[in-house]
Amino acid sequence: MGSVVIPIPDGDQGFTHDLKQEKKFQVSLSPVISFVQKNRDAVRKAIHAIKVGIALVLVSLVYFVDTLYEKVGDDNAMWAIMTVVVIFEFHAGATLSKGLSRGIGTVLGGGLGYLAAVLGQQVGGIGNPFVVGVSVFIFGGAATYARLNPNIKKRYDYGVMIFILTFSLVSVSGLREENVIEIARERLVMIVLGFAICVCTSLFVFPMWASDELHDSMVSTFEGLASSIEGCIEEYFRLVNEKENQSVQPAASFRDCISVLNSKAKDESLVYFAKWEPWHGRFRLSHPWEKYQKIGEVLRELAAVILSLKGSLNSPEEPLQALRESIKEPCEAAGSSLAWTLRELGESIMKMRRCQPGAFIVPKLKLVRQELSQVMCPFKLGKLDNAEGFAVASFVFTLMGVVEKLEDLSKEVEELGELAGFLQG
């Protein structure tokens, strides 16, 4: 019998072809992912600009659709566009805060302005402008005086300003217009429409959460300060053997410390905006954002102490070499423990798990404090009879100050874990 050869397709070949296509697809995406990671801030700004453009297009439908335009008119339709331009902020919490402040200020200002206009019309004659003028003077002056209060200016300045504007416009409009209530109602509807478009766009189109930014920046601060401590210790004792080599680049960088010292205003703003944001991701409505602010204060104090170590790096006297060598090993061990503690606390916040500082971190910090105290024992204090010796002592005492701040910081992080309900590590 003749044999028949039946060709069998190689299944592996097709599978290999699919893998190659998948690999090629992954490789083609890698430059995009790398660009996004390197230019994260620029990408977020571009997304925000696109969202504002989308909101403006949506609110402009009031002009594009004839039936809507005929109902609201040109004077009232512009209030919706003005609302989008004014209240749309980068963070979702900021948009909600500003929008609600504008809404409350508009309602209060419009309501009181309408009452003032109606009262003026009831008086009639020359008493009408007199009543309106006195009302504008009293309410406008009182609201302006309230804006000078630091607490009100910090949180409610925009709402008070909108109150003054709306009250003045509505009450003065009553001098020439009889249907003041109709005008106020239509403008309020347009403001609510603009606010609704802003909120929906901000919350549902690639939302920028202030809470996420605050959380991530807090975690990166821990890592930055830990690197600053390691760099400072390395630089201080590297000078023992490499002082004459001026071409060696310094290992210590205090840029992170300076950045932390200048972060107070930003942290306060992010905390305030985070309180306005709805439940999303890992953050509940009752998340203790005030504790983040307290942790930030302790971090700034810690950054100031670390920054004071910078003066210890500028001691070129030769006699310092022997003294530095005598404290090199315990100080390097202490610096390593301090950096580990900072990273452990930062990881606890990042992963939202409790690290139990009382069981692990606090005993380790106490051990570091004892080791540094032994460095400054009476036997070695006898050597500190010159400026170089006092410089070494200042360096060790500053490290002990870092230990003290880390003890306070560990307590704050532990309280944050209890209030926020972090999982057990």
Whole-angstrom distance, CA of residue 91 vs CA of residue 218: 17
Q: How confident is the model at residue 355 (pLDDT cuts 50, 70, 90)?
A: confident
Taken in order 287, 289, 294, 300, the sign of the CA dihedral is positive
Whole-angstrom distance, CA of residue 175 vs CA of residue 127: 11
Does 365 fall in a domain?
Answer: yes
Q: CA angle at residue 345 from 341 to 350, to 5 degrees?
A: 145
CB of 199 closer than 8 Å to CB of 87: no
CB of 415 closer than 8 Å to CB of 290: no
One domain, residues 232 and 370: yes
Q: How confident is the model at residue 73 (pLDDT cuts 50, 70, 90)?
A: low
Whole-angstrom distance, CA of residue 353 vs CA of residue 346: 10
Whole-angstrom distance, CA of residue 262 vs CA of residue 373: 32
Does 221 fall in a domain?
Answer: yes
Instruction: Give the structural domain span for 231.
Output: 210-241+250-424
DSSP, res 283:
B
One domain, residues 362 and 376: yes
One domain, residues 168 and 218: no
Q: 15 pLDDT exceeds 60?
A: no
One domain, residues 112 and 216: no
Tell me the residue type at 54.
Answer: I
One domain, residues 281 and 192: no
Q: 389 pLDDT exceeds 60?
A: yes
One domain, residues 172 and 220: no
Residue 310: count other Cβ atoms within 10 Å of its Cβ. Answer: 15
Which CATH number characterizes residue 379's domain?
1.20.58.220
Query: What average pLDDT score do residues 35-55 get?
Result: 86
Better-predicted residue by pLDDT, 27 or 204: 204
Q: 271 pLDDT exceeds 90?
A: yes
Does 31 fall in a domain?
Answer: no
Query: What average pLDDT score do residues 282-296 get?
Result: 90
One domain, residues 200 and 261: no
Contacting residues for 147 by C-beta, under 8 A, at least 6 apart: 153, 157, 160, 161
Q: Which of these, 232, 419, 262, 247, lies nearest to 338 by C-alpha position?
A: 232
Whole-angstrom distance, CA of residue 232 vs CA of residue 236: 6
Q: Which residues are paired to 423 by β-bridges?
A: 353
One domain, residues 231 and 138: no
CB of 325 closer than 8 Å to CB of 388: no
CB of 291 closer than 8 Å to CB of 255: no
DSSP, res 312:
G
Whole-angstrom distance, CA of residue 406 vs CA of residue 367: 13
* Helix 127-147, helix 92-123: angle, nearest 10: 150
Average pLDDT, the chain: 81
CB of 388 closer than 8 Å to CB of 316: no
Does 304 fall in a domain?
Answer: yes
One domain, residues 233 and 297: yes
For β-strands 423-424 and 353-354, DSSP reports them as parallel
Whole-angstrom distance, CA of residue 87 vs CA of residue 78: 14
Contacting residues for 290 by C-beta, under 8 A, at least 6 apart: 271
Query: Would you mind telling me the total number of residues written for the chain in this entry?
Result: 425
Query: What average pLDDT score do residues 318-329 get?
Result: 70
What domain count does the chain have? Answer: 2
Query: Torsion over CA of 190, 191, 194 and 195, rounded to 10 degrees?
Result: -140
pLDDT tens per residue across span 175-222: 666 666 777 777 788 888 899 999 999 999 999 999 999 999 999 999
Does 82 fall in a domain?
Answer: yes
Q: Which residues are paired to 354 by β-bridges?
A: 424
Does 15 fall in a domain?
Answer: no
DSSP-H helix ranges across 3-39: 11-38
Q: What share of the chain is helix, strand, coil (3-state, %, to 5)?
A: 80, 0, 20
Query: What average pLDDT score do residues 263-274 get?
Result: 92
One domain, residues 199 and 221: no
Does 12 fall in a domain?
Answer: no
Q: Which of these, 12, 3, 179, 199, lies nearest to 87 by C-alpha position?
A: 199
* Residue 248 backbone phi and psi in degrees, to 5: -70, 130
DSSP, res 310:
G
One domain, residues 61 and 120: yes
Residue with tokens 């423990």: 337
- pTM attached to this predicted model: 0.80
CB of 409 closer than 8 Å to CB of 298: yes
Does 292 fall in a domain?
Answer: yes
* Residue 283 backbone phi and psi in degrees, to 5: -105, 125
Q: 23 pLDDT exceeds 70?
A: no
One domain, residues 388 and 279: yes
